[in-house]
Structure 1
Amino acid sequence: MECVFRGTCVGMAPENDHAESVRALRQLRRMRTFYAGGAVLWAASALVAGWDDPGSRQMWVSVVLLAVFTALLSMTYVCLWRQQSARWGEPVHHAAPRRMAWRRHADA
């Protein structure tokens, strides 16, 4: 570990860093579902509005909101992809490591 500035040490991540990254990934997955639902909703709305009255204000608002939700969805996919590729090389620790129990033999 190396102390850089006024006793600030670098080299070790805080203990809660893993928990925060797991929460962030869970949040991103939830938002991905929400953005996908919004994109489907606005695509359907744009389709119906375009079918009834092509070129209407309602159709263009639906198209703009579809573009916004699609952009948010794509940014969420990129963030999740980066997180997975960054964590690809790390070992996965789901539980405590299994160690062989030491067997002590009595001397004869």
Structure 2
Amino acid sequence: MDQFFTLSEESFFKKERDKARKLRSSQWWKRKRSLGICHYCKNNFLPKELTMDHIIPLARGGKSEKFNVVPCCKECNTKKNQLLPWEWEEYMAFIKQ
């Protein structure tokens, strides 16, 4: 299913993606990622293998702010997709059964 966004929504996403790019180049993000720990699965990775995940996804109203981004592995980032934190926790509990 294709998603269609209004011009104002497109400008919001562009602005937030630009802010995320700036955050990724900041010392704050480099230090956070340098720990090498995925926020979700808690496994260790090389820092360059971690991606930036929006805890509350942009498509669900989140922002590219320090309190809303965490380092995570590509597998968790792909699985989490656009889930909210409580939806992700339910998903993780379901697959551990």
Q: Same fold (TM over 0.5)?
A: no
Specify which structure has the higher proportion of helix. 1
For normalisation by structure 1, the TM-score amounts to: 0.27
For normalisation by structure 2, the TM-score amounts to: 0.30
Largest Rg, 1 or 2: 1
